[in-house]
Amino acid sequence: MNGNRSVDEGLAQKVRAAAAELNYSASPVARSLVLGKTNTIAVVVPDLENPTFHGVLRGLSRAAARDGYHVLIADSAESVDEERILAVETRRRCDGIVLCAPRMADADLRPLLSELNPVVLVNRDAQFSGTPVIVADYKAGLAELLTLLYGLGHRSLAYVSGPRRSASNARRLAAVREFLGDHSDATIQIVPGGVSFADGYYAVERVIASATTGVLAFNDLVAMGLMSALGERGIRVPDQISVVGFDDIPFARYMTPPLTTAAVPVAELGEHAWHRMWDLLHERRPGRPTNFRPQIVNRGSAGPVPASKAVR
Amino acid sequence: MNGNRSVDEGLAQKVRAAAAELNYSASPVARSLVLGKTNTIAVVVPDLENPTFHGVLRGLSRAAARDGYHVLIADSAESVDEERILAVETRRRCDGIVLCAPRMADADLRPLLSELNPVVLVNRDAQFSGTPVIVADYKAGLAELLTLLYGLGHRSLAYVSGPRRSASNARRLAAVREFLGDHSDATIQIVPGGVSFADGYYAVERVIASATTGVLAFNDLVAMGLMSALGERGIRVPDQISVVGFDDIPFARYMTPPLTTAAVPVAELGEHAWHRMWDLLHERRPGRPTNFRPQIVNRGSAGPVPASKAVR
DNA sequence: ATGAAAGCGCTAACAT
DNA sequence: ATGTTAGCGCTTTCAT
């Protein structure tokens, strides 16, 4: 027998030898049917292309593999409707689902969560009991970035925002408000942005119009797009304007100047998501939300306020 | 019945209604067991982090999803031994395997292919009958890049090579040799490189020592690393030296200067890989290897030979 | 300690 | 056209 029971060791040896000889191993599909578990989990992402999800996926898949689990991927192509169907459909072929930053509204998410159970949520929180949540602490990250810029003398700031309805944007906005409350001499203008390089690129006019000296972008992609557009206009970063991003995607360090940003430990997010899933699969208590605090990486894109604009 | 047979339409309607009512749908696992097919395929990649595989994975997963198939991912973490085990193990839970750029030697690949069957190979070719092969035409791509540089007046060139045993590096080297045969006035020095940004970064000394005016990097990452190191030394691209990459990874266009490179249509590679797999799954004839010819994107990193170095 | 049998949830082949 | 049955490849329970 492959497992273990009260079997004669000699016999077991021979059986194993024969199995090896015949290159036999039990069919995972048949086992899945009878055991009621597939040893597979699925992860649903809005877009496989997004650098953030790569990291999560990699951390997750390697961690799961170490525990003998397989991972199914489902790319919802940013479609909210698709996301629901996909998750439910996929769930049936595996033991649990990891939902990455689901786009759907809270009201839709709630019932889905119980239908999908067990599920762990990455980068989207929801105060629903029983669903572990792994998030990057966007608020703390942005607060630190604000402090950094403030410390460099910047008082007139701009925040190039993310998607209006995005939870992680709301988090950053909360940090902005809080900061404003604590620093009455600072001003922060909100400039509509988005999530992509292009969004940052096209935000340049409004950023320039804001006449601010330091800008915080929703994420690194937006920051890079902005820097690129700034560069084309001959505006030097950080000499004339400071720009900071968020995420620390692999290329952030390779920009010129290298991007100052808040590093989100994506692979760890993924790894952690797996551990929570494992707990769920083995009926451990869910545990409280895990907050990963981003780490500020101070590279070259943020500098002191240009002398000409310094407030005396 | 869920499928179709000679059943009364009215009855079928009622059954479907009841199924919907009870939120019932057939268990995929049980179906898999009895049908002998899982409607799932797996893709094995050496490293999920690699931008090239993201694109392939995305194209593949979306195409497969359109045909109602699911995809399992397996990250071999660059380990050759792991790759074999992983592929065989994973194969049992699905209907076929897509192997991305397997690192193993031809002699090991050969027998594995039949064990894994059906399998399609991406970015690694092998003249084994029955195994569809999807590759980017590295040789043609590099040849075009060489021609581009030559056309700009460069005669003294350097190639920062990839991994010694890599098939795609061999392809590029073949282009180098062929080019040399056709252009007796050109010289191409081979500089040891690698696959990563760091590899390019550390190749800078040798590139400078080569005193060449145009350099072709194994891939975009290497080119970027090199450009970054060049920048730190105050050497301007393309004014003082031209640099071209290969792949057109998402960030290539965002470098300063934007990178001139040969674009490999990764998503299409993935999509095509799925179609070949589908053919195999439905017993169509395998078809001949598909070569995707990279397209040159002439951006800002390649320019004319600096006047001071021009050959008169 | 070992062998026999039931059954996981389905589909296909067979009887009616 | 509809109802019944065998069996996919396993694991587990129950007899021996």
Distance from CA of B161 to the nearest CA of A (A): 21
**pLDDT mean over A101-116:** 91
* Alpha carbons A269 and B140: distance in angstroms, whole number: 41
B31-65 tens-digit pLDDT: 999 999 999 999 999 999 888 899 999 999 999 99
* B27, B57, B62 member nearest A92 (Cβ): B27
Mean pLDDT is highest, among A44-48, A184-188, B79-83, B102-106, for: A184-188
Question: Which pLDDT does position A289 carry in this prediction?
Answer: 83
B265-312 tens-digit pLDDT: 999 999 999 999 999 999 887 778 899 999 999 999 999 999 887 765
pLDDT over 70, % of chain A: 98
Structure tokens at A110: 């709630």
Please name which of B253, B203, B210 lies closest in space to residue B228, comparing C-alpha atoms.
B203
Question: Cβ B254–A58 below 8 Å, yes or no?
Answer: no
Cα angle B287-B292-B298, degrees, rounded to a multiple of 5: 170
Q: Does B5 touch chain A (CB under 8 A)?
A: no
**pLDDT mean over A16-20:** 91
Structural contact between residues A179 and A155, judged by C-beta atoms closer than 8 angstroms = no
**pLDDT mean over B162-174:** 91
Q: How far apart are the first and last CA of chain B?
A: 82
* 3-state secondary structure (DSSP) of residue A57: helix
Q: Does A29 touch chain B (CB under 8 A)?
A: yes
* 3-state secondary structure (DSSP) of residue B45: strand
List CB contacts (< 8 A) between B29 and chain A. Answer: 29, 32-33, 38, 92-93
Question: Which pLDDT does position A2 carry in this prediction?
Answer: 67
Question: Which pLDDT does position A256 carry in this prediction?
Answer: 84
Q: What is the pTM of this model?
A: 0.91
Question: Which pLDDT does position A3 carry in this prediction?
Answer: 65
Please name which of B249, B219, B244, B253 lies closest in space to residue B55, comparing C-alpha atoms.
B249
A44-89 tens-digit pLDDT: 999 998 888 999 999 999 999 999 999 999 999 989 999 999 999 9
> Does the pLDDT at position A111 exceed 60?
yes
In Å, how far are A122, B9, B93 from B117, measured between CA atoms? 36, 40, 13
List CB contacts (< 8 A) between B90 and chain A. Answer: 70
Question: Which pLDDT does position A1 carry in this prediction?
Answer: 62
pLDDT greater at residue B228 or residue B126: B228
* B55, B58, B197 member nearest A75 (Cβ): B58
Nucleic acid strand D: bases within 7 A of protein CB: 1-2, 7-12
Question: Which pLDDT does position B281 carry in this prediction?
Answer: 97
* Alpha carbons A247 and B287: distance in angstroms, whole number: 44
Q: How far is the CA of B123 from the C1' of D16 (A)?
A: 59
List CB contacts (< 8 A) between A93 and chain B. Answer: 28-29, 38, 40, 70
pLDDT greater at residue B212 or residue A165: B212
Structural contact between residues B204 and B230, judged by C-beta atoms closer than 8 angstroms = yes
Q: What is the mean pLDDT of chain A?
A: 93
Structural contact between residues A215 and A207, judged by C-beta atoms closer than 8 angstroms = yes
Q: What is the mean pLDDT of chain B?
A: 93
In Å, how far are A217, A246, A269, B47 from A265, measured between CA atoms? 18, 11, 6, 18
Structure tokens at A39: 């040893």
Q: How far is the CA of A34 from the C1' of D1 (A)?
A: 33
Which of the residue ranges A13-17, B123-127, B235-239 would you say has the lowest mean pLDDT? B123-127
A262-273 tens-digit pLDDT: 999 999 999 999
Say which DSSP state B260 is in. Answer: B
B122-159 tens-digit pLDDT: 998 887 778 999 999 999 999 999 999 999 999 999 99
> Does the pLDDT at position A217 exceed 70?
yes
How large is the angle between the packed helices A138-151 and A167-182, nearest 10 degrees?
Answer: 40
